[in-house]
């Protein structure tokens, strides 16, 4: 098969409507197939994803406060007076929404710790 024939075949494949719809779909999604083994049996992998994405965002947003501090399951982002830092909560909501392709209504809920974020994902989005 010559180069022009291959090129025309590629154009036909790409121009199909079904193929064009695949390009618009989101590649990273929270919902895995039912045969994916770790979701219900091993929720610690979801917790690791939450810790990783929250830790990256905390260090990105407030490097001086979070640099060198280990991010664990018990980490929270309240102030020294136990007040909620709304700015940090919104940044964390954004990171979790991007990582798990979910929507968190900021007017109704503020996630103030890794533990709360994990519980929210496991309770509200029970496709896991």
Mean pLDDT of the chain: 75
Q: Computed from CA positions of residues 6, 11, 17, 21, in that sequence, does the dihedral angle turn out positive or negative?
A: positive
Higher pLDDT, 16 or 75: 75
Entry pTM: 0.64
| H-assigned helices in 15-78 | 17-24, 38-41, 44-61, 63-66
**53, 57, 98, 100, 125 from 93: Cα distances, Å:** 10, 10, 9, 11, 15
Mean per-residue pLDDT, 26-54: 67
Domain positions in the chain? 3-124
Mean per-residue pLDDT, 62-88: 89
């Amino acid at each position: 098969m010559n180069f022009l024939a291959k090129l025309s075949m590629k154009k036909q494949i790409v121009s199909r409507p079904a193929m064009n719809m695949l390009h618009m779909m989101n590649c990273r999604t929270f919902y895995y197939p039912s045969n994916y083994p770790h979701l219900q049996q091993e929720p610690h992998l979801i917790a690791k994803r939450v810790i990783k994405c929250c830790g990256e965002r905390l260090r990105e947003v407030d490097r001086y406060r979070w640099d060198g501090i280990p991010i664990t399951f018990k980490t929270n982002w309240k102030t020294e007076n136990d007040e909620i830092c709304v700015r940090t909560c919104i940044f964390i909501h954004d990171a979790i929404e991007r990582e798990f392709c979910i929507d968190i209504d900021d007017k109704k809920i503020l996630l103030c710790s890794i533990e709360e974020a994990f519980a929210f994902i496991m309770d509200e989005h029970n496709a896991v």
